[in-house]
Amino acid sequence: VTGARVGIDIGGTKTQAVVLDDEGGIAAEAKVPTGFGAEGVIASVRDVLALLSMPDAGIGTVGVGIPGAVDPARGRVTHAVNLGLADLALGDAVAALAGAPVTVENDVNAAALGAFHLLGYGPDRSLAYLNLGTGMAAGIVLDGRLRRGAWGAAGEVGHIAVDPEGVLCSCGQRGCLETLGSGSAVARQWPQGGDHPVRSLFEAAAAGDALAIGVRRRLIDTVASAVRVLVLTVDVDDVVLGGGIASLGDRLLDPLRDALRDAESTSPFLASLGIPDRVRILPSKRRVAAVGAALAGTAPKSP
């Protein structure tokens, strides 16, 4: 295929696009606000493609990352509630705009591929990208290839239910990891945090607020559980944290490593796995999903 690799990340508030150069670097980029509903989303893709400065060779392939349930083989997206999409043949719509073959991928899976590439992992390495945003979900790259799973559910660790008495989750189960280890979980337990509940929570906890310390404790312990689930199921080299909560940086990573070490203190088995040293935070999450979407557009198809 000649022509440029284009990646588009359709997020809840903005749609970001990149053009990759031959080495996988970013040759051009653009972003626009994301519209609502099928027409709004497709208009955002049209607008962001119009803003991108294209190389002379034109568009070779397009990859699109989007939240929701994605059928990559058919390019359909369903249940993207925040975008107002019930069921959309997004791949066909984007292909008509771009005049090039299109691959549609779940946004967290796209970000996992982008993180793998941007962090410079070699083809024989593996990582889990744990996205801590409004929800909790992971994308898994094994030996350099995205692992979607037989039904596309690989990495959906946020919906592992661990507490039958826990609060009702958006998925219909009770006590999912996401009900304690996500931005929505913090907003529910720390309503005084307003528009930036996680930042507010960590500031209040640092100032000694007992309630905030408890909510932060549950958040950290739950993220630690998700990290252990990922290591104990697929034993990836590293678990890379991304999403809004990960932008806390060391304020998240330091207590998370402490929690992982606490669990090791009574378990020689866990201690033998070195999990605290296998957790890292994505240094720059800004374009990771768009870059990953561009790579998904050209990656060999895997199950």
Annotate 175-214 with b (16+ C-beta within 10 A) or e (fewer): bbbbbbbbbbbbbebbeebeeebbbbbbebbeeebeebee
- Closest separation in Å from C-beta 169 to Zn ion: 3
Binding mask 113-152 for Zn ion (x = CB under 5 A): ----------------------------------------
Query: Are 62 and 113 in contact, with CB atoms under 8 Å apart?
Result: no
Q: Which stretch binds Zn ion (CB under 5 A): 115-123, 159-167, 222-230, 231-239?
A: 159-167
- Spatial strand order in the sheet of 238-242: 145-146, 136-142, 127-132, 238-242, 279-281
Cα–Cα separations (whole angstroms), residue 267 to 3, 127, 225? 53, 24, 15
- Closest separation in Å from C-beta 248 to Zn ion: 23
Q: Which stretch binds Zn ion (CB under 5 A): 82-90, 111-119, 166-174, 254-262?
A: 166-174
Q: Which stretch binds Zn ion (CB under 5 A): 9-17, 51-59, 169-177, 269-277?
A: 169-177
Site size toward Zn ion (CB under 5 A) is 5
Nearer to Zn ion, 135 or 292 (CB): 135
Binding mask 245-274 for Zn ion (x = CB under 5 A): ------------------------------
- Closest separation in Å from C-beta 247 to Zn ion: 24
Distance from C-alpha of 49 to C-alpha of 52, rounded to nearest angstrom: 5
Residues between 30 and 69 with contacts to Zn ion, criterion CB under 5 A: none
Q: Which of 75, 78, 84, 76 is nearest to 35 (CA)?
A: 84
Is 159 one of the binding residues for Zn ion (CB under 5 A)? yes
Burial of residue 55 (number of CB atoms within 10 Å: 0-12, 13-18, 19+): middle
Q: Which residues pair with 279 in a beta bridge?
A: 239
Distance from C-alpha of 25 to C-alpha of 138, rounded to nearest angstrom: 24
Nearer to Zn ion, 44 or 179 (CB): 179
Among 127, 176, 198, 293, binds Zn ion (CB under 5 A): 176
**Residues in touch with Zn ion (CB under 5 A):** 159, 169, 171, 173, 176
